[in-house]
Amino acid sequence: MSTSDRILLILHIGFAIFTLGPLTAATMSTPRYIRKRNVVVVRYLHRTTQIYGLGTLGIFLIGLGLAKGDLAEVWLTVSMTLFVVALVLLLIVERDQRKAVHLLEVAAAEAAPAAVPVRPDAVKETEEPGESEEPEGGATEAEAPAAARPAAATGEVAQVERGRLAAMSGVVALIWLVILALMVWNG
């Protein structure tokens, strides 16, 4: 193995370690933060997926350089095919993350007006003596039945996206492991 091949191999392994690890961690932890409705973290994980997803292209390109045009070997063809499948799945993961961020932002916007309770003593300080505005029926926002609250506040948000993200990120992680096994076994 020549020096240039060794450098390419070091770059190939380095790109694999430093891009696939954070990418897999970001995609696999996204469903947890969707469930917690933490839109800031989901937005961050989406951005991380975009950046490291582009970085994985470096793994593919350096791997092509290492193959030196000898793509007739079955394990190389299978590895590259699986890599392309994983990239397509990552595009779907990125789309679902983007959609989940949007749904979480919409749910937060719908719940925001209802989430700001008005202190009764603050209302009394601004009212003139004798003026008392009580809601009809005497019920406050906190006492409203669950049926009267917005659906986003009581139900799950981005449930479909969360399930797809969990499934697809697991499949992508398994694909990375199969490619690793092929590289180690035949390389």
pLDDT in tens, 91-113: 999 999 999 999 999 998 888 77
Q: Do the Cβ atoms of 82 and 179 come closer than 8 Å?
A: yes
pLDDT in tens, 150-180: 444 445 888 899 999 999 999 999 999 999 9
Q: Which amino acid is at 96?
A: D
Predicted structure pTM score: 0.74
Token pair, residue 99, equals 């959609």
Residue 38 or 155, more confident? 38
Which H, E and C letters describe the chain, residue by residue? CCHHHHHHHHHHHHHHHHHHHHHHHHHHHHHHHHHCCCHHHHHHHHHHHHHHHHHHHHHHHHHHHHHCCCCCCHHHHHHHHHHHHHHHHHHHHHHHHHHHHHHHHHHHHHHHHHHCCCCHHHHHHHCCCCCCCCCHHHCCCCCCCHHHCCHHHHCCCCHHHHHHHHHHHHHHHHHHHHHHHHHHHHC
Q: Do the Cβ atoms of 14 and 55 come closer than 8 Å?
A: no
pLDDT at 123: 52
Sign of CA dihedral 38, 40, 46, 49: negative
Q: What is the mean pLDDT of residues 130-135?
A: 50
pLDDT band at residue 141, thresholds of 50, 70 and 90? Answer: very low
pLDDT in tens, 6-29: 999 999 999 999 999 999 999 999
Is the per-residue pLDDT at 77 higher than 60? yes
pLDDT at 154: 46
Contacts of 60 (CB under 8 A, 6+ apart): 80, 83, 87
In the chain, what percentage of residues exceed pLDDT 70? 77
